[in-house]
Structure 1
Amino acid sequence: MSYKFIYFDLDDTLLDHQSAEAAGLKDVHDHFDFFADTTPNQLVKVYHQVNSKQWGLYSRAKVSRDELQRNRFELTLKELGLDGSRYEEVGNFYMQAYRNHWQWLDGAREVYQTIVDQYPVGILTNGFAETQRKKFEDFDLYDSAPNTVISEEVGVLKPHPDVFAHATEKAGVDRDEILYVGDSFSSDVEGGTQFGWDVAWFTENGEPEKHQKADFVFNDFMDLKNLLKV
């Protein structure tokens, strides 16, 4: 395989977003007294369900960014039988707590740095622009991946083809010379392959028919290292 450019997704591909999210929510639970009759796991479960749905609506332009930020906490609180009007203070505290728990996924940092030594790389990510930029800064990704694309700044979210078109133009190579490494089936695998990129899908499971849509499936970063022969 002769790729000329490697793009990486960020959250749950390089950085462990799920663990940071859960830890941040547990900090929220411990901080606010009104969660006393709710377990941390209940908060994490309900928030994850609500947040996933709201991001789906946001990606289809069914809600605005402000509505997403409000709804994900207001609806979570209401679902738990709590006062939804506290959404703003809960949301603000969560974002601070979430940032305290950012870390690399196991095995990702070492393999990423090895790949960076031999390929030009970029980061292509959904997420709030200011949060993703802070991650780029904290993990020195601007230095290792000068091509960073935050879909919110493009104006549409993955899997919209305009995001991949913009990223391809920034990479300066043909679309069939790019490998994209990501964890989301809809955003990364479907979005990337439909645009003509090869996609390495980082996943712990997944249905066999979904596996067939990716060019490479792995759950250990050493397998990605071996694929690229670095």
Structure 2
Amino acid sequence: MSYQYIYFDLDDTLLNHKAAEQAGLQDVHSNFALFEEVTPSELIDEYHEVNSEQWGLYSRGEVNRSELQRNRFEKTLQNLQLDVARYEEVGNYYMQCYRNHWQWVDGAKEVYLKIAEHYPVGILTNGFAETQRLKFEEFGLYESANHTVISEDVGVLKPDPKVFDHATQEAGVAKDDILYVGDSFSSDIEGGSQYGWNTAWFTTNGEPEKHAKADFAFKEFEQLEQLLELSNTQS
């Protein structure tokens, strides 16, 4: 397969956001006495549900960024019948802890860096811009990626086609020469393929009809390496 440019999603594709989120919430649970009647898993599950809902509202323009940041902890505390007045304190502590647990997805670093030796690569990500920039810095992505695109800077979130159009202009190649590697079916695979990009879905599950939407699906990064025929390439 021939591509002229490869974009990667960041969270839960290259970096393990879910693990960092869960570890950060574990730290929150341990640090605040108000959670003593709630188990860590109850906190994690409730936060995940509320946060996913709020990001959906944010992507549709139904809440702004400050409302998202407030609501995800205020509503979590409210749903757990805890002191909602502590939402800001809890939220700030969570962000400090979350940053302490950032790490690569297993196998991603080696394959990503190998791909970057043979293709121009970029990062295209949702998320709060200042948080994503810190990740770029900490993991050397400014040095390895030709372009880093944060949807918040564009003004809309994936899967809005304006994000993919902007990233295509940055890459300087035709849209059908781009491969996008991502984990989110709606944001990455549907969004990318509907715009006209080729897509590689990083997933361990998914219905067959969803798999058919992607050009291919993989669950281990070595499979991506094999697809790009880099397995036997000397760096």
Give me the TM-score of the superposition, normalised by structure 2.
Answer: 0.97
**1:146, distance to aligned residue in structure 2 (A):** 2.8
Percent identity between the aligned chains? Answer: 69
Question: 1:172-200, CA deviations, whole angstroms, 9 ceiling, x for partnerless residues?
Answer: 00000000000000000000000000000
User: Aligned partners of 2:157 and 2:39: how far apart in 1?
Assistant: 33
Instruction: Find the counterpart in structure 1 of residue 27 from structure 2.
Output: 27
State the SS of the aligned residue for 2:15.
coil
Query: Which consecutive residues of structure 1, in runs of 5 or more, have no partner in the other structure?
Result: none
User: Aligned partners of 1:83 and 1:151: how far apart in 2?
Assistant: 33
State the SS of the aligned residue for 1:214.
coil
Q: 4+ runs of 1 displaced by more than 2 Å?
A: none
Instruction: Find the counterpart in structure 1 of residue 14 from structure 2.
Output: 14
User: Aligned partners of 1:28 and 1:171: how far apart in 2?
Assistant: 40
Instruction: Find the counterpart in structure 2 of residue 74 from structure 1.
Output: 74
State the SS of the aligned residue for 1:179.
strand
Query: Which consecutive residues of structure 2, in runs of 5 or more, have no partner in the other structure?
Result: 231-235
Give me the TM-score of the superposition, normalised by structure 1.
Answer: 0.99
Q: Give the letter aligned to residue 73 of structure 2.
A: F
- 1:40-189 correspondence to structure 2 within 5 Å: 40-189=40-189
Question: 1:11-53, CA deviations, whole angstroms, 9 ceiling, x for partnerless residues?
Answer: 0000000000000000000000100000111000000000000
Q: Give the letter aligned to residue 57 of structure 1.
A: L
State the SS of the aligned residue for 1:180.
strand
Instruction: Find the counterpart in structure 1 of residue 233 from structure 2.
Output: none
State the SS of the aligned residue for 2:205.
coil
User: Aligned partners of 1:110 and 1:3: how far apart in 2?
Assistant: 20
Number of positions where the alignment pairs a residue of Structure 1 with one of Structure 2: 230
Q: What RMSD over aligned residues (CA atoms) do the two structures have, in Å?
A: 0.4
Q: Give the letter aligned to residue 137 of structure 1.
A: E
